[in-house]
Amino acid sequence: MFNMDSVKIQKIQLFRDHLAVFEREQGLHKITVHRLPAEGEPLNCLEAVRSVSFIDPVYSVDSTESEFSSSVLRFRYSSLKTPPSVYDYDMDSDTSVVKKIDTVLGGFDASNYVTERKWVTAADGTQIPMSIVYNKNLAKLDGSDPCLLYGYGSYEISVSPYFKASRLSLLDRGFIYVIAHVRGGGEMGRQWYENGKLLKNKNTFTDFIACAEALIELKYCSKEKLCVEGRSAGGLLMGAVLNMRPDLFKVVVAGVPFVDALTTMLDPTISLTTSEWEEWGDPMKEEYYFYMKSYSPVVNVSILPLFDPRVMYSEPAQFVAKLREMKTDNLLLFKCELGAGHFSKSGRKKRTVLLWRKIRQKSAIWGFRFESDGYGGSTGSTYLSGERRYF
């Protein structure tokens, strides 16, 4: 991939008469189309630049197979409210035609949902984008709505705002769902990633906190109705932000959380440790040791597999034991999946069985979230009560 300050080129698709470039600009996917000169003529420059228009303010786009000799570019499209779709874009006439939209059962109507993009000012002045979706018939936007804020922010991985049918269960209970595109990810280019790793890793945490504070200030939710979630390195994010701002969140969900990064990175005999030094730093060097030690999480959450070479089950188990010794009236649930790895159970089982287990796992997490703080209730009637709880 070729990276510029404002544009990250992800893929190039060549046609006989056109060149299609899949990019990210300001964190959003973009497709630009250039006309190529006629056969036999020199290529002095790329002509007739066009950008494909999309229907949502935040979305996800990916390439798919197209005919080399055709003027039609086929691509896949999805957003937080638009199911996975296939479009044909005529590069000559600048028109798009939807060819297929995945069916969503249960009376789904995309017009019931609103997607938004908001920018948040981080502690150092950096602008952080957020992707937001909610059911316009249920969300009051007066600070009384429950909200789930998701974050990752590591390994230059971009968290794209794509459609997920299971998320409708939250939205149709009045939840507002938000993705914080914090530094350490790849949404805004290479420098966005560089500014969230090694000795700048804390930017990921402060970005996430800034997003949470902004959601409260903009009246998307309140502290007592804000739930946060992350997995793996996102689980480290969860532990770190709770350490920094334990007053800010009502419910925390973290899957296979990397909560004891310092100890793991000190042991080169553990699988993947030495390669991870490029992301977190080598704690056998003093500056990295004390920096990693300064953000070591104190909160562990949720579904932990026993056979995980990336995040040892002992990490959250140790934190749970410590939390249970020190906590007062907080509910803390530790669940260890005995037959799974970092990405859930093995693929040796049939796909339908794996899908059913995944649904059960997600249902358990969401059920705890609803029950622990009263998020549930009937559609359109959501509320919060009780003590702060961790999952």
pLDDT-wise least confident of 9-18, 65-74, 328-337: 328-337
Using the CB atoms, write b or e for 333-371: b if 16+ within 10 Å: ebbebeebbeebbeeeeeeeeeeebeeebeeebbebbbe
pLDDT tens sequence across 116-170: 999 999 999 999 999 999 999 999 999 999 999 999 999 999 999 999 999 999 9
Please tell me which residue, 225 or 7, carries the higher pLDDT value: 225
Using the CB atoms, write b or e for 51-90: b if 16+ within 10 Å: ebebebbbbbbebeebeeeebbbbbebbbbbbbbbebbbe
> What's the confidence (pLDDT) of residue 44?
80
Among the listed residues 280, 239, 244, 59, the one whose alpha carbon sits nearest the alpha carbon of residue 154: 280
Active site residues: 232, 308, 342
Q: For residue 363, what pLDDT band results from cuts at 50, 70 and 90? A: low
pLDDT-wise least confident of 9-13, 157-161, 245-249, 297-301: 297-301
Q: For residue 223, what pLDDT band results from cuts at 50, 70 and 90? A: very high
Q: Are 66 and 72 in contact (CB under 8 A)?
A: yes
Q: For residue 308, what pLDDT band results from cuts at 50, 70 and 90? A: very low
> What's the confidence (pLDDT) of residue 298?
55
The yes-or-no verdict on residue 107 having pLDDT over 50 is: yes
> What's the confidence (pLDDT) of residue 243?
79
Q: For residue 253, what pLDDT band results from cuts at 50, 70 and 90? A: confident
For the chain, what percentages of helix, strand and coil (3-state, to nearest 5) are there? 25, 30, 45
What is the mean predicted confidence (pLDDT) over 322-334? 65
Separation CA 252–CA 259 (nearest Å): 14
pLDDT-wise least confident of 212-216, 243-247, 288-292: 243-247
What is the mean predicted confidence (pLDDT) over 175-201? 96
Q: For residue 305, what pLDDT band results from cuts at 50, 70 and 90? A: very low
Separation CA 72–CA 54 (nearest Å): 16
What is the mean predicted confidence (pLDDT) over 283-305? 74
DSSP state string for 38-98: PTTS---S-EEEEE---SSSS-EEEE----TT-SEEEEEEE-SSS--EEEEEETTTTEEEE
What is the mean predicted confidence (pLDDT) over 86-102? 97
The yes-or-no verdict on residue 388 having pLDDT over 60 is: no
Among the listed residues 306, 365, 303, the one whose alpha carbon sits nearest the alpha carbon of residue 334: 303
